[in-house]
Amino acid sequence: MSSVAANGGKGPTPGRLAAVYSEVQTSRLNHPLPLPSVIRGSFKIVDGPASSAAGNPDEIAKLFPKLFGQPSAVLVPTGSVPSEMNKTLKIGVVLSGGQAPGGHNVISGIFDYLQDRSEGSTLYGFKGGPAGIMKCKYVELNTDFIYPYRNQGGFDMICSGRDKIETPEQFKQAEETCLKLDLDGLVVIGGDDSNTNACLLAENFRQKNIKTRVIGCPKTIDGDLKSKEVPTSFGFDTACKIYSEMIGNVMIDARSTGKYYHFVRLMGRAASHITLECALQTHPNITIIGEEVAAKKQTLKNVTDYITDIICKRAQLGYNYGVILIPEGLIDFIPEVQQLISELNEILAHDVVDEEGLWKKKLQNQSRLLFDFLPQAIQEQLLLERDPHGNVQVAKIETEKMLISMVETELEKRRLEGTYSRQFKGQSHFFGYEGRCGLPTNFDATYCYALGYAAGALLHSGKTGLISSVGNLGAPVDEWTVGGTALTSLMDVERRHGKFKPVIKKAMVELEGAPFRKFASMRDEWAIKNRYISPGPIQFIGPGSDSINHTLLLELGAQA
């Protein structure tokens, strides 16, 4: 344990300067961060061809008249000695949405870029997410302030928030802040929604001839913000490795004890990338991937039977234990559950739920069957726990416990039929918050630093409406590519309340993609034979410390 204040603090200061650090935290502070060679040296920014949109380009063109079609940009070395450009900059940075390991390094990267290439520049951190922009709540970042956050987890340097800049009034507030601070640029570190918002801000500023440029950075542990040019979102690598450490431990426990089935729910409501990556890292007996469940139009009964079948098959082989991975958003992928929820919302809004169950007659046949199939605790939860709008709170359902209960019931049935005779003990786990604020892996630390440094370079060159893009990640850092991708090129539209809204579509697990195919080719073996891998705790030095997650490696391999 040591005090960080010793490392440059001058008496009581805000943020972490008075923090007490563990040995590992302290050692990470001075962990060197290599930069891609192109951005270390002298470079120029070269524009690519005009871009289009991910879908409905005509509508995107209407929504972004100034920015639509703009090219992506790539940094190329010029061979000469890097020289400071004369212009000093005023830049703001904001963290938007849920935490992801590495966010502090993006900010460090922007800061160091300004120090290295644009001395005399200013970096403001907006506090508490986009609300900080609207309310003009910020802190000026300097070397002493930033130092204790280098290579550290969390978003607490300036904190984050989930507010959105959406209404004309909110846009006005953002404009006022940018004008007041005389901002040349703004870096928005966020997920799909936040980057869409960043692009709307960029368009708005351009339309109004406000000089502030806007650059996005791809953040989310869920791994669902990616494209050809943005190979991964930061935080995914660290979060998956933290969860996989725990899963590996639980696997060895299962094998040692021989009597538990561990049902592990993993964070990630929209896409199942985390679950897939953890499966590739650890080789569980059963893994449910939401996108596959949806593609195959599976019912909850199908999923339950799939699990139960494997449990029975394993029992015949003498294995009365196992590990099962479940994505947090599983039930959102099951159409019949969505149908039941919407009927329930309708009924709960207008009718009385009588104890005799007469209200159930209002459910359609399929929904009624599903409702009766659900464990009693889940039935009660659906009927009793509502959000402030009176709606059923799907997000509160502990899917892993629901599945344990349904599997128990199914096994009991099979026991009566004589096809199962063992004891079943389910243990439930949810791994979520533990992974969002861990110390970033060497990969995430370096990747984030490059993303931030690149964002600085893009703003310095006058770019706007791009998302910082660092590529060729399978190669040594020296050879990583650096540039910016037109945010409009990632967009499509969705119709909401009769209007077209721009969206960056979440990248879902592709059933034809290399990671899923690898998993699908091995899962039958993992189900029956025990191929558990225990990745162990994340290492910062020595063996394993520079490994990259399987999803990224497989996707890079498939591209190559």
Contact residues for its own copies, defined by CB under 8 A: 1, 19-28, 99, 128, 152-156, 159-160, 242, 245-246, 248-250, 252-253, 255-258, 260, 262, 281, 283, 427, 429, 433-439, 531-544, 547
Nearer to its own copies, 255 or 362 (CB): 255
Smallest gap from residue 54 Cβ to its own copies (A): 31
- C-alpha distances (whole Å) from 315 to each of 309, 419, 426 are 10, 10, 14
Residue 203 and residue 510: Cα distance in Å, rounded? 31
Whose CA is closest to 96, among 129, 126, 66, 73?
129
**Structure-block tokens of residue 108:** 């460090």
Nearer to its own copies, 50 or 541 (CB): 541
Smallest gap from residue 207 Cβ to its own copies (A): 34
Residue 521 and residue 67: Cα distance in Å, rounded? 43
Q: Is 309 assigned a catalytic role?
A: no
Within 10 Å of residue 332's Cβ, how many Cβ atoms? 19
Contact 234, 219 (CB under 8 A): yes
Would the annotation count 15 as a binding residue? Answer: no
- What DSSP string runs through 23-69? HHHHHHHT------HHHHS-EEEEE-SPP--SS-HHHHHHH-TTTTT
What is residue 543's DSSP assignment? T
**Structure-block tokens of residue 123:** 């970096």
Nearer to its own copies, 120 or 258 (CB): 258
Within 10 Å of residue 30's Cβ, how many Cβ atoms? 10
- What DSSP string runs through 352-388? ---TT-GGGGGS-HHHHHHHHHS-HHHHHHHHH-B-T
Question: Which residue of the set 112, 184, 222, 237 is catalytic?
Answer: 222
Smallest gap from residue 182 Cβ to its own copies (A): 29
Would the annotation count 222 as a binding residue? Answer: yes
Would the annotation count 260 as a binding residue? Answer: yes
Smallest gap from residue 551 Cβ to its own copies (A): 15
- C-alpha distances (whole Å) from 20 to each of 3, 24, 351 are 4, 12, 56
Nearer to its own copies, 24 or 352 (CB): 24
Nearer to its own copies, 528 or 533 (CB): 533
Nearer to its own copies, 56 or 539 (CB): 539
Would the annotation count 269 as a binding residue? Answer: yes
Would the annotation count 220 as a binding residue? Answer: yes
How long a stretch of residues is the chain?
Answer: 560
Would the annotation count 433 as a binding residue? Answer: yes
Smallest gap from residue 396 Cβ to its own copies (A): 12
Whose CA is closest to 545, among 278, 105, 241, 155?
241
Residue 283 and residue 292: Cα distance in Å, rounded? 18
Contact 233, 224 (CB under 8 A): yes
Residue 22 and residue 252: Cα distance in Å, rounded? 28
Would the annotation count 215 as a binding residue? Answer: no
Smallest gap from residue 159 Cβ to its own copies (A): 6
Nearer to its own copies, 154 or 290 (CB): 154
Contact 195, 520 (CB under 8 A): no
Nearer to its own copies, 37 or 547 (CB): 547
Q: What is the CA radius of gyration of the chain?
A: 25
**Structure-block tokens of residue 3:** 């005090």
**Structure-block tokens of residue 388:** 């402030």
Strands 322-327 and 286-287: parallel
- The contacts of residue 102 (CB under 8 Å, 6+ apart) are 219, 234, 235, 238, 440, 444, 445, 447, 448
Smallest gap from residue 19 Cβ to its own copies (A): 8
Smallest gap from residue 476 Cβ to its own copies (A): 18
Would the annotation count 98 as a binding residue? Answer: yes
Nearer to its own copies, 108 or 152 (CB): 152
**Structure-block tokens of residue 152:** 């550290």
Would the annotation count 144 as a binding residue? Answer: no
Smallest gap from residue 26 Cβ to its own copies (A): 7
**Residue 141's beta-bridge partner residues?**
123
- The contacts of residue 416 (CB under 8 Å, 6+ apart) are none
Would the annotation count 221 as a binding residue? Answer: yes
Q: Which residues are annotated as a binding site for diphosphate?
A: 98
Q: Which residues are annotated as a binding site for Mg(2+)?
A: 192
**Residues forming the active site:** 222
Q: Which residues are annotated as a binding site for substrate?
A: 220-222, 259-260, 267-269, 328, 433-436
